[in-house]
Amino acid sequence: MSEAVATEQAVRRLAAGHPVVATILSRWDRVALPDAWLSGSLLAQARWNEYFGFPPIHGIADADIIYFDANDLSEAGEQAVAERVQALYPDLPIRLDVKNEARVHIWYPDHFGMPIAPYRSAIQATTTFPTTASAVAITPVALSAPFGLDDLMQPVVRANATQIDRAYYEVKAGRWALHWPDLVILPWDQAVRYAPENGAAS
């Protein structure tokens, strides 16, 4: 068995053993959204809790389901989808955040003060997520990790400077350090950027 396959299997075991991740994926067929993934920091935080011996939900505020629907870029449409999906999981102990990555470019300038190009897919959106570990996305049948899985499993927090700036990263990392004080958080000068021409970080 290759190291890559073994690491992917370890991530799958992590997902299956975590109460929130496992619950979300167990009802995935009912989510029924185009290009939908469970992504964001949930898997990373599940790994941190496993690694440092904390309870499974320690420090976890929310779970992110992302999808891509370019046929409905309205805020009302996204809200209706979010309410429907949230209703599938009334038993989750954390907040469920559902976002249409096809419409992020519409609201991003108001929130972050800079324009961005429209994303082409949900996975392309993950290549701009703030850290390499939070860029991991999973479904019951697929796993995407544009920066690889090493930082997720080590565990290490490494900035993804493809879109965010240093100040945003340091605020987020500082918040995580309060919950996971032994977590290795790399400084901004060790950030990576996604290189779309070769499908890898640089």
Token duo for residue 41:
């920091």
pLDDT, residue 3, reads 86
CA distance 156 to 172: 14
Type of residue found at 21: V
| Tokens 């809790």 found at | 49
- pLDDT, the chain, mean: 95
pLDDT digits (tens, 9 = 90+) for 89-140: 999 999 999 999 999 999 999 999 999 999 999 999 999 999 999 999 999 9
Distance of CA 133 to the CA centre of its chain: 8
pTM for the full model?
0.94
pLDDT digits (tens, 9 = 90+) for 133-175: 999 999 999 999 999 999 999 999 999 999 999 999 999 999 9
3-state secondary structure 108-133: HHHHHCCCCCCCCCHHHHHCCCCECH
What's the maximum distance between 2 C-alpha atoms anywhere in the chain?
A: 48
Report the half-sphere exposure of 110 (CA within 13 A, side-chain side).
Answer: 4
Respond yes or no on whether the N-terminal peptide bond of residue 146 is cis (omega within 30° of 0): no
State the average pLDDT over residues 70-93.
98
